[in-house]
Chain A
Amino acid sequence: MPYDSILNWIKFTDPMANPFYPYIKGGSAVYNLPYDIGHKLWELIGGAIAWLVNLLFPGNGVSTFLVGNDMFVNLISIVLMVVVIFAVGFIVNITMIWEERKILGRMMDRRATRIGPLGYLQNIADGLKTFLKEHITPAKADKKGYMWAVTILIGTSVLIACMIPLSDRWFIVDYGTGLLIIFGLFAIAPLMILVAGWSQNNKYSLIGGMRAAAQMVAYEVPILLVFASVSLLAGSFNINDIVHAQANSTWYIVPLFLGFIVFIVSAIAEAERIPFDLPEAEAELVEGWQTEYSGMKWGLIMLGDYFRGYIACALIVIMFLGGWYVPFISVEQQASWLPEIVFLLKVFLVFFVFAWVRAAHCRVRTDQILNIGWKVLMPLAVINLGITVAILLAGGILW
């Protein structure tokens, strides 16, 4: 059959029927949207390749292997799934940068980005510009630390950003300890910033790295305490469980308002944004720990910073704002509504607050930032934990 139709090779089989389907929970397969997209993508691409190969060499084994081998299809689907997830995360990130620039522009009484529709393509243009910049490595820098620290920093940021589930069908791995793993990876950054600052052989970078380490260590403790109270209330570290617990009762911003405030302040500090951008305070430390990075290295660091901002916003949405669900409407009804969009809209809303704070406030001083971290946010986080325990002891009167 030399002239067979291409449709013979593109069958759109059910991905969950694949015996190697990775998402099995309690014996039954859990639907995963990005895997499905990856699977369908491969069925399109692989089917077309297989059809072409079969046209040239009718009846060969490669064509059937490309679309028929379950293990191979599963592997390719996972790769494509990761690409899809990263692409979505990247687009979300670009959108957030665009959002921030637009909001800052309007608050500062000026126009912001101008390229493309509503200035959306400005970030692409800026990215292309940073690609064209010269790469300079300082002569006396410690090359390994200089390159690897920032690579790990950007890598972990992107990794966590991809690990954030957008809905109960859009995830990579459904960890039982999702929050803890995300936070553990999040906490690699201060160490890497310190190493990066140290390795550049520049006094500004060194001071910036030191400040980053001091500040982030100070702010991780309240964040962890808030994590603890949220997961105590939800009874799980699993992100799905936390969101569903909120859908079943109420958003945790209501009982844990104190924790919400503590977390939003600490998240701004963790994402190194004004008013807590001490490590890269450009007025006194040129560019802080990023001083000696140039070209696309610096561009990726900036992108990584916004990935961290996205993570912080997503965590706030997951922990306090009900995740991908809208209140007062039943969960089953919302399943058909693209909960991913709801989630991302909430993220953009939270990020608006970040941009707003940035437009309104000055930078805080080093000692003040540590004072706020240890003397204000720490006790508040402990009080928040106490409130949680009281609610739990009261036997869930609220719901």
Chain B
Amino acid sequence: MVIKYLDKFPKGRNARTLWVLKPMWVTLKKMFKTTFHRPVTIMYPYEKEWLPDNYRGRPGLIYERCVGCGVCMRMCPTKCIEIVDSDDNGKKVQRPQVNLGRCMMCGYCAEYCPVNAMIVTPDYELAAFTREELIYGPRKLAWPNPTPGMEVHLEEHLLSDPERGPVAYHITDRPELNAGKCIGCTKCVKVCPTDAVEMQTVGENDKGKPIKVPKFDVSRCICCENCVIECPKGAITIKEVL
């Protein structure tokens, strides 16, 4: 209800009146002020702006937490994340590798990471001499001292159960088996990053061999959809809880 600027000059202004001194007075005042005080600018290479923890610079990785599920790879809008083989104390593991030449720092990898292993880091000085230097492998991606503020938590409320509080897809959504389509190939067991799938014998077929179908351990599943994608018959779907 308050009109401030337009009320200040209700009659409008007229260029014919000689108003050249006011701007000069304002600039002179500013000059005296900035001569004795510090100007607002920051001398960049020598001093840097304070950044909050949640600043979205390049993505970072907490190596120990990561399970190599590949959600970050699928949620990346620019397809700059790739899951590569890495080495964790002699054990071969899967870890993300980020091509920062393509990264647009949207923070989706950190947001959708089910185990909060991907983080956002306040690192924005990323210039390099070659494109190869911009490909950050899992070890280079690690950030020395990650703080809790660098993790991005996905906090969604369910429309069906608003009292439940913030949840995320990896807490509510679970894979569902259409047993009729399953051929028992055990691919889902192999691709599951958290060993949440195991084959269970449900009977015998005509030749007397056991029929095995995957059983999902709901408490360990992180809803990474690897089994859904890998299933050759499309027998697994994600059941969304809304």
A and B touch in the complex (CB under 8 A): yes
Q: Is the interface of A mostly helix, strand, loop or mixed?
A: helix
CB distance from A257 to the nearest CB of B (A): 16
Chain B 36-76: CB-based contact to A (< 8 A → 1; otherwise 0): 00011101000000000000000000000000000000000
A357 B31 Cβ-Cβ under 8 A: no
Contact of B41 among A107, A110, A359, A361 (CB under 8 A): A110
- B23 touching A106 by the CB < 8 A rule? no
Q: Report Cα–Cα, A357/B31, bound state, in Å.
A: 13
Interface contact A109-B40, CB-CB below 8 Å:
yes
Please tell me if B34 contacts chain A, counting CB pairs below 8 Å. yes
Determine which of A109, A114, A356, A361 lies in contact with B34 in the assembled complex, contact meaning CB atoms within 8 Å.
A109
Residue among B26, B31, B43 with max Cβ neighbours from chain A (10 Å): B31
Q: Select which of B20, B26, B27, B43 is within 8 A of A111 by beta carbon.
A: B43
A163 to B20, CA, bound (A): 34
Which secondary structure dominates where chain B touches chain A? helix
Q: How large is the interface on B (under 10, 10 to 19, 20 to 34, 35 or more residues)?
A: 10 to 19
A106 touches B39 (CB 8 A): yes
**Closest-CB distance, A259 to chain B (whole angstroms):** 18
With A107-B30, A109-B30 already in contact, the answer to whether A356 and B24 are too (CB < 8 A) is yes
Q: Are A106 and B24 in contact (CB under 8 A)?
A: no
Q: Which of A310-359 contact B (CB under 8 A)?
A: 356-357, 359
Q: Does A103 contact B (CB under 8 A)?
A: yes
Q: Are B39's CB and A110's CB within 8 A?
A: yes
Most A CB contacts (10 A, CB to CB) among B26, B39, B43 go to: B39
Q: Confirm or deny: A30 has a beta carbon within 8 angstroms of a beta carbon on chain B.
A: no
- Of A105, A109, A114, A360, the residue contacting B23 (CB under 8 A) is A360
CA gap between A357 and B28 in the complex, in Å: 10
A residues 107-125 near B (Cβ < 8 Å) are 107-111, 114
Known: A103-B31, A106-B31, A106-B35. Is A360-B26 also a contact (CB below 8 A)? yes
Chosen A-B contacts, 22 in total, with CB atoms closer than 8 Å, are: A105-B39, A106-B30, A106-B34, A106-B39, A107-B27, A107-B28, A107-B30, A107-B34, A108-B30, A109-B34, A109-B39, A109-B40, A110-B39, A110-B40, A110-B41, A111-B43, A356-B27, A357-B24, A360-B20, A360-B23, A360-B24, A361-B23
8 new A-B contacts, CB < 8 A, other than A109-B40, A360-B24, A360-B26, are: A107-B27, A107-B30, A108-B30, A109-B30, A109-B39, A110-B40, A114-B43, A360-B23
- What residues of chain A have their CB less than 8 Å away from a CB belonging to chain B? 103, 105-111, 114, 356-357, 359-361
